[in-house]
Every structure is written in structure tokens, then in C-alpha cells.
Chains A and B, each alone.
Chain A
Amino acid sequence: MSKAKEKETQEYLGLSHVLNLSFNWSAGPYLGKWLTELRDNGKLWASRCPKCQRLLLPPRIVCGICHIRTPEWPDWLQLSGKGKLLEWEKVVAPQMNPSTGKIEPEPYIHGNILLDEGVTFQHYLEEQDETKLKEGTRVEVVLKPREERQGLVTDILYFRIVEE
């Protein structure tokens, strides 16, 4: 019924092209400081909204709910990097990496972790065997060695299960 079917024998031409663009994204003062602290000192921070008291990870200059400015570093809370696993996803089908155009499998399972200080954080999990993952499993952050850290959120390598 569709027009497409009638024209099956016709050759449809088109243009291949690549969107190949480089960018310099400004992280801003808060996220910039957060990334610097991670790279140089191996520390993780969160900021707290002075009104609703919720923790913001990553810290941002405004609380989206209260519409007020949040404090600057060092008026932030240092995180222990420890928490418990809430849920996880294993991305089975490989996806295209938009900065290389290549189809790549996900290196790890993604976990949603409730850090002990009371804020959630989504990142990779070291454990590849899903049967070992349970809600409530204790995990802790593992950073890349100092010389490999670049000031990106992937300076955090993954979270590993804490044997208890």
C-alpha cells in the first residue's frame, strides 16, 4: 500500500556524512572544582542545599527545587565513597559511542548506589557476575591511580563489593 513499495525497483540515492566536531565544554566553577578534587586529591564531594538539606551530587550552583544558591567548596560534604547497591542494569546489546562512531560493548554493569551520606550515584560495578549482586550489597569506590586520572568522572574506575 505504501508508496515505498511501488518504487522498490528504483535506486534511492543519498549522502553519507560524518558529524565530526570538537568541543571545549566549560564545567563551571562547582563541577570544575569537583573534578579537580577527584583528579588531584582522590576526594569525592557533595554539596547540600541550605533550605531543603538534600545532598547534590554533582554539586551545582542552584538547587533546582528551592531555587536558591548552594554553598561553594569547602562548604561541601566529603563522601566516604562507601554505600549500598540499590539496583543495577546490564547493557547486553552494544551501542555506538557518539565520540568515536564505533559500536562498543559496555565494559561493566551499571549500578545505582545509595552512598552512606544519603545521596545516590550511578556508576560501573566491578562484579561481572550478576548472581553475586543483591539489593543492599555493600560497595565502595575504586579510583584510577593518580597518574591515570584526567579530571573526568571516569577517574572513578568502578564500585567493588566489600566483603563482609
Chain B
Amino acid sequence: MSNRVAIIGVGQTYHASKRPDVCITELCNEAVRAALEDAELTMKDIDAVVTGNMELFEGRYHQDLWQVDYIGSYHKPGFRVTTGGTTGGTLACTAFYCATSGQYDVVMSVTFEKQGEGDSRAGLKIVADPIWDRWITTGAIGTLARLGSWYMKEYGATEEHAALVRLKADRNACLNPHSHLKLHLKSVEDVLKSEMLVPPLRRLDMCPASEGACAIIVASEQKARKLSRKPVWVKDWVEVHNETRYNRGDPVSLENLEKAATTLFRRNGITNPRRDISMAEIYEPATWAELVWFEAFQFCQKGEAYKLVEKGATERDGEFPVNPSGGVIATNPIGATGMIRVAEAAMQIRGDAGPHQVTREVKRTFTTAWGGSSWTVAHLLSKTLD
């Protein structure tokens, strides 16, 4: 890496199922103003702006064109990046690449989704190749359901364990002022009586369709030290892709996730992930995903994740907090979701996340984004440079 980079500002909107009071570009503007306020900067201090969302949820195209006035990219360099579900995570990486290149010192990255303006599941179906996959595969929701049936069969987990994950997410979301779904669920029964979508996946096992935006401001080392009192250092990041076909042999497609984690851990001398890292914000579009992918990311042995959840190890005040923000299953404006993980992790490192701050000291975080046929993006943030 040529220059080291840090996150010096984060902002997000108050996510909701519908925000009729703002149009798409005004939604982005809210996140941008929040990030500028957090960093104590003005638009003049930003050298470049990158932006993106997952296209066709709103029936709008070339969003970077329409956003210019609202995200401050008037006469500034920058471009649109769109990578499906991983978009938010990739846009964080994009800002890191721009800032580390030496070409720009302060880069803002803006992501959003306004899913209430279209049909989310039609939007997801359109992702599938129109000649082959679109008509014969179940796409994302089928993949997630399959994680559940596989995990239960392979390791003896039950639907109650998935419900425990939902309850934890809801408890955390109720403390997070920005989260979308604050359901105040009381018991496992509350989760199990929700509508069945694709067995064993229930509505409350799945993420919502949210409207929201997120922005982060990234600076190169010199500028970060000058402009910020609490820079959050970006140690490393990686994107892993695979062949795009939904109907591959492996029922659960974990190789991308495993590779992302292995690469980051190897490059950064992490030999015991749960000890060397303080907490994780994992992109989990379903409760089952949090369980299975926690293992794929090597935070525990295979078949152990649901036992850790039972013991409360992944709670906000647990030994290894996972998704103290409430995670994706509480808030999911798809284009922004990957970046919200990074923003939340940065706030946790700074110690100013708010009521949902974890109780242990946060020195290093692991954040991920997921999309398509298991594409994975992962980042490692750190309180200090070493």
C-alpha cells in the first residue's frame, strides 16, 4: 500500500421503510451533510466523490448524473461504482483505493437505496441472467433458505437458534437511533410465528427492504492526522468474486467468504481471529447467514456458531460482539448496507456509536459485504496504525 488511509467522518440517514419526504438525491444529501458534520469539514475540503447503489430498484439509471448537486461532485473528480449487494462495501474500498493512490487526499463515498420506490424482489430477480437463471432459479432468497436447511442438517442447529439471532439483532437495533426495524420482540415464539417465505426462512429471518443512505470520508495519512482527532485507520481490504451461476454444486458457497477472511488474516498477522479482532459487523441478509458465515470467516469451529449464540457470546456486551448495530436484518437499504457496516465499525472504534456501543474496548474490527453469487468484500479497521 503506498499511502496509509483513515476514515475521518461517517454519516447515515435515519433508515425507514419509506421516506416520502425526500427524493433519492435528497436522501443522499442527508447522509453527506451528516458525514461532513461528523468530520467537521465542508464540501470544499473534499477532493473527489465516488458513489453508487444497486441499480434498478428505483427504476433509475446513471444515478451519479442526477446526484451531482446533492453529493457535492460538481466539478470534482469521481465516478460511479455498482457491484450489486456488495456495492456499499466496494464503495468503501473505492474510497480507500482513491485515497491510498496519492491522487486525492480526501475522498467521500456515498451510497444509498430507496427500495420502497419499486418492487425489491423484482429488482433482485432482474440481477439473474435473463436467458438462463432468471426463470429457473430462486436467486438470493433460495440461497439463504438453503443455508438454513443445510446448517440444521449438518450440525443440529434448530429454527430456535436462528430466532435467537433475530432477537439479538432486534435488541441492538432498538438501541441504534439509525436502524430501521425496531420491533421490540419479546421471545423466540414472536419470531417463529412470522410468515414463512421459503422454508425454513421466515419473514423475520430475513432483512427488510429499507430506504437509506450512508457516506464516509476517507483521508490519506497526512491529511487524516491534520483533520481528525480520532481517525479510524484502514488496515486492509479485499474483494473476492466467483463465477456467476446460481446453480453451482456447493449448496452453500462458502469459498469466497473463507478466502476473504484467510487473505486478510494472513496479510495482517491474525492467527486467532476472535482474540486478535474485537468485533465484527457482518453483512447477513438472513439470520442463518450470520450463523453459517461466522464459521466461514473462521471466528469459530464449524458447528460452533449456534452454540456461541446460545451462550450470548455475540451479544453487544459479549465476548465477541457481532452486529451491535442490529445488522442487515434490522436495516437493509441494499446499496448502502455494505457501507453502513464500515461506518458502524468506525464509530465503535471511536467509542461514540451511541447507546449501542459495545462494552469492551474496540481495537480492530472486521466488516464484510456480500452479494450476487456469494461475492464477498471484507475490510479490517483499526484504532492504531500498527
Contacts and interface: CB of A to CB of B under 8 A. Distances in A.
Interface of A: 1-4, 7, 10, 12, 14, 17, 19, 23, 25, 27, 31, 35, 58, 64-65, 86-87, 89-93, 95-98, 101, 110, 112, 114, 119-124, 152-154, 156
Given A25-B131, A90-B199, A122-B247, A2 B16 contact: yes
A14 B117 CA distance: 10
B136 A154 contact: yes
Nearest to A55: B249
Residue from B14, B18, B134, B249 whose CB has the most chain A CB atoms within 10 Å? B249
A64 B243 contact: yes
Interface residues of B, number: 41
A25 B125 CA distance: 17
A85 to B, nearest CB: 12
B243 A122 contact: no
B131 A4 contact: no
**Leading 9 A-B pairs by shortest Cβ distance:** A122-B247, A12-B20, A96-B122, A64-B243, A96-B119, A89-B142, A98-B122, A2-B14, A120-B249
B195 interface: yes
Contact of B130 (A23, A58, A86, A92): A23
Given A12-B21, A98-B126, A153-B136, 5 more contacts: A1-B177, A25-B131, A97-B122, A110-B138, A112-B247
Contacts of A14: 20, 117
Interface of B: 14, 16, 18-21, 56, 59, 117, 119, 121-122, 125-126, 130-132, 134-138, 141-142, 145-146, 149-150, 177, 195-199, 242-243, 246-249, 251
A122 B132 contact: no
A85 B136 CA distance: 16
Given A93-B197, A96-B122, A122 B136 contact: yes
Contact of A17 (B16, B20, B59): B59
B121 A95 contact: yes
22 contacts: A1-B14, A14-B20, A27-B131, A31-B131, A87-B146, A89-B138, A89-B145, A89-B146, A91-B138, A91-B198, A92-B196, A96-B119, A96-B121, A98-B122, A110-B142, A112-B251, A114-B249, A120-B249, A122-B136, A122-B137, A124-B136, A152-B135
